Structure 1
Amino acid sequence: GEALAWFDGERAGLVGAVSWAREGRYAATVVRLALRLGVYLDWRRYFDDWITVAGVAREAAHRVGDSRGEAAAWSNLGLALEQVGRVGEAVEAHTRARDLCQATGDRHGEAVAWNNLGSALREASRVEEAVEAHTRARDLYQVTWDRQREAGAWGNLGIALRAMGRVVEAIEALIRARDLLQAVGDRQGEGMAWGNLGLALREASRVEEAIEAYCKGLEICREFENWYRAGQTLENLARAHEAARRPADARAAWLQATDSYTQADATKEAAAALANANANANATDTAPPPGRVYTSPRPPDA
């Protein structure tokens, strides 16, 4: 839309403004701007810029004694670090955010931090700890009556349970996430829930149900022109068709994934999808690899 186009045109100036205004009387404004700008930078996958502005926000909030702002900045920094594969640093950042929230009695912020920490722990292959973290987040969200973020915690819990091989429990958690997101009208979150539910259903050998889930998620990705996530969804759909021994359908999905990744400027992923499409022209009975996980929706103040 027009707002997104405006951000695209002003990104460099906004990132520069955050760094320029980090000192003195503008510190509180910098914290707010950096946290809001992080949502856009995450969406557009400008992760280096996100790390920069989150770091500036953390320093500025600490300088003026804004503990809640500092905790939110640590959370944003952890999310950005996780996206570039710096998982150990992400775990540390989310731990700092959680500790600050606990120290200030911010239960809602603590729930956000636990949920984000769980995702980083899962990426670090500390899956049992991830399940515990997401369970804590879910319980805190229930206490604070935040149904939308509770749904996100259910979704992340489902992802972690699936990683532990507890697939039946994962499906149950992901259905809870999907239903809650539908109830609160969060279409983008619902799309991710459908995608992750598809992964769990496929792992449970319920391939036709998985394909249906991917198609529902894909419809929502296209609705919001989220081409990178559409590419992920088509990739998972292709692998489901491969599992069902339908190479022609798989090839068609891979070609659509190539187009979606190209629209998202994800050239590496587009090239890989095209290679898989070509491989399906001479398909074998080799089992497809695991699918691509969808991270749960992040609140602006995460």
Structure 2
Amino acid sequence: ADAADDRLRWLPGMEEPEQFGDRAKALAWLDGERAGLVAAVGWAREERFAAMAVRLAECLGEYLNWRRYFDDWVAVAEAAREAAHRTGDRPSEARAWNNLGLALLDAGLTDEAIDAHTRARDLSRATDDRYREGMAWNNLGLALLDAGRTAEVIDAHTRARDLSQATEDRHLEAIAWHNLGIALRAAGRAEEAVVAYGRSLEICREFEDWYGAGQTLDNLALAHKAALRLAEARTAYLQSAEAYDRAKAPARAAQARARAADLDAPSP
């Protein structure tokens, strides 16, 4: 399950996982084993299986999300949370609250997701895990965005950015700047969003994270469009396509070029 999860989380530019030659093979294996794997997480109620069940639950989240088995995802995340709490494993409990929040958000249970990510944040802070606290602030921001609580979203992603800077985690900082840009654009603050995307893009290029750069440039183009700077939006889309090409993501590159072409089309 761990190896299959590695394959599902792989992105162009990352080191290739050793097992499962492609995404389809990992999905096929998980499809065949899903019922047993989900049931095995339920063994977390027995103390001798608790730790392994918690780990197994963490390996299933990406798959259950991709296949949209949200009920299963909520169930395994809740089982992991209960087991980690019962055994006093507070770091694992914080991760389980975070995973439960992601599952609840995808299931459309936004208020419950906000509560779960708040608990994950608080537990991470209590265990002095500043990295996890930053991630929980980030995911809390995504849940708050879904609830339309824009001012709180901006605060959450600002805190995630500040924590990433304090821990000198440049990759997390890039994510925080990117999500802060999304929040600022949602608030109608397009100019500030452009600045945030620029900071994210700078870090992505520093790490040669071309896939992340492509995503950021996509959103930068949207911010330029919101400010009616169509030439700049077109340039950002074309740069996004180039970044996706470098990341060996041709489908995303083609989408970015199509969006640039749409901006060249005459208005009706």
The TM-score, its normalising length taken from structure 2, stands at 0.79
Paired residues in the alignment total 244
What corresponds to 1:154 in structure 2? 177
Query: For the structure 1 residues 237 and 79, does the alpha-carbon distance in structure 2 shift closer, same or farther, using more than 3 Å as the test?
Result: farther
1:73-129 alpha-carbon deviations (Å, 9 max, x no partner) = 111111222223221111111111111112222212111111111111111111111
Mapped to 2, the partners of 1:54 and 1:138 lie a distance apart of 27
What corresponds to 2:79 in structure 1? 56
Q: Report the aligned-residue RMSD.
A: 2.8
Query: Which letter does structure 2 place at the counterpart of 1:9?
Result: W
Query: Which letter does structure 1 place at the counterpart of 2:73?
Result: W
Alignment of structure 1 residues 1-302 onto 2, 5 Å: 2=21, 4=23, 5-11=25-31, 12=34, 13-217=36-240, 220=244, 230=252, 234=255, 244-246=264-266, 285=268
Following superposition, the deviation at residue 211 of structure 1 comes to 3.2
Mapped to 2, the partners of 1:192 and 1:43 lie a distance apart of 19
Give the conservation status (yes or no) of the 8 Å contact 1:111–1:136. yes
Give the conservation status (yes or no) of the 8 Å contact 2:44–2:83. no
Query: For the structure 1 residues 220 and 243, does the alpha-carbon distance in structure 2 shift closer, same or farther, using more than 3 Å as the test?
Result: closer
Mapped to 1, the partners of 2:245 and 2:77 lie a distance apart of 27
Give the % identical residues.
50
Following superposition, the deviation at residue 63 of structure 1 comes to 1.5
Query: For the structure 1 residues 54 and 200, does the alpha-carbon distance in structure 2 shift closer, same or farther, using more than 3 Å as the test?
Result: same
Note the residue ranges of structure 1 that are not aligned, 5 or more in a row.
Answer: 247-283, 286-302
Give the conservation status (yes or no) of the 8 Å contact 1:78–1:94. yes
Note the residue ranges of structure 2 that are not aligned, 5 or more in a row.
Answer: 1-19
The TM-score, its normalising length taken from structure 1, stands at 0.71
1:162-182 alpha-carbon deviations (Å, 9 max, x no partner) = 111111110110111122122
Query: For the structure 1 residues 184 and 37, does the alpha-carbon distance in structure 2 shift closer, same or farther, using more than 3 Å as the test?
Result: farther
Following superposition, the deviation at residue 242 of structure 1 comes to 5.2
Query: For the structure 1 residues 221 and 95, does the alpha-carbon distance in structure 2 shift closer, same or farther, using more than 3 Å as the test?
Result: farther
The secondary structure found in structure 2 opposite 1:2 is: coil
